[in-house]
Structure 1
């Protein structure tokens, strides 16, 4: 067995890259931190501070730790186009996920499409390229779409969260609350006639449910996303299908259901 030795420069960079990919972004503290139990603290305005002449002048507002969902709603609502919304999201610093991600993953496909696909969050490859579903699961999604005569020129693809969570973990409720107004506005601006969600977290977000994906998949429902009403169907995430090939039969039935709904509405 080789003796311990100091790592060289390239080895240290490789270790740091491995830590980052695994979601390690802070040192270990004395006590464990439950990120899912954290809450956004309220904005606090301190009392006035006395000026040197004795008059009372208001102090500057203390910065708030974490984002403010009402600010996110206001910013999202101000976007009149998808390009404006993307620019607003690119400048938005309220969600901590942005600090750890490589770049914003806004959308892919045709913004004028009448079919919209919604996933959960970007993965490592999506984070590198800045587009949703471009890794192995995206390649499988492309094959699933092709099987019913679709491709990325005929659909619009987005995620509930536009930045990669460290280590591909599930976004926290607070992170979801800060990103959801932007997804709502994205859907309103695209105004699709059909929506398909990919995976459990996206399904729970869009359908406002805590039910599991196995129970809900393949069932059409009328949902309201932001101010846009639309028929939506959940299916299994392509990444799940890669891990569980036997489930592809269920996903195939869901894709056939989407095709039938398209024909019913005269979309293809």
Structure 2
């Protein structure tokens, strides 16, 4: 009787181990983590990677716009979201850069729309400009799920924006929002707040000022005074 029970236990153990091996678990521990919920690809079905030559950077602003709209390697291609591309002409007196489209922007089909857009238009009027005079862009031309981006994507978008600013050739640059500022113009605290600073791009530098995004000002009206001090540095320089 005891021998029969031992045989049955051994068969059960063999069956248990075989079940886990079929599921893909053939080691008790491993050096690298494994996503057990993702089916393993057979060699025949695994995607074939080929080495491709690096895509040359666009040489002018129209080519850059076309590259944004057509290249498949941009991080935004992974997100099921509507694309909102930059708008404006080269050599604008002011280029405005925000982080990404807000949900209201996606619905409206334009950056800085709805209530935040109305406040932004008021900010422009305060420095003697309107949207017809400026160039508007965003770090990301589409909104990721939950509005969250990976660090590697943020680094790639910042590098892309430095090329963008170089080709757009604005006279001044206005950065809106904390994420935009941290990606494009991190500071060690030595620079004077609300003042023009040099922004380094692919072709040199351009004077830039950073301030709050209008969406934050809607919820924190007390920050408008600090925003106004930042905009004052653009009043004389940004006029067409």
Determine if the TM-score, normalized by the shorter chain, exceeds 0.5: yes
Distance in 1 (CA, whole Å) between partners of 2:88 and 2:153 is 25
* Selected match of 1:231 from 202, 207, 215: 207
8 A Cα contact 1:199 1:237, kept in partner: yes
Alignment pair present for 1:151 and 2:130: yes
Task: Find the residue that maps to 1:192 and give its secondary structure.
Answer: coil
Offset of 1:96 from its aligned partner? 4.1
Distance in 2 (CA, whole Å) between partners of 1:216 and 1:95 is 34
Could you say which structure has the larger radius of gyration? Answer: 2
8 A Cα contact 2:90 2:170, kept in partner: no
Give the superposed CA RMSD. Answer: 2.9
TM-score w.r.t. length of structure 1: 0.64
8 A Cα contact 1:217 1:235, kept in partner: no
* Selected match of 1:162 from 124, 141, 147: 141
Alignment pair present for 1:84 and 2:63: yes
Q: Which residue of 2 aligns with 1:37?
A: none
Choose between structure 1 and 2 for higher RCO, CA contacts under 8 A separated by at least 6 residues: 2
Q: Which residue of 2 aligns with 1:4?
A: none
TM-score w.r.t. length of structure 2: 0.70
Q: How many pairs were matched up?
A: 195
Gaps of 5+ in 2: 1-42
Gaps of 5+ in 1: 1-48, 50-59
8 A Cα contact 1:97 1:175, kept in partner: no
Q: Which residue of 2 aligns with 1:62?
A: 49
Alignment of 1:60-139 (within 5 A): 61-62=48-49, 71=54, 74-75=55-56, 77=57, 79-139=58-118
* Selected match of 2:166 from 188, 213, 220: 188
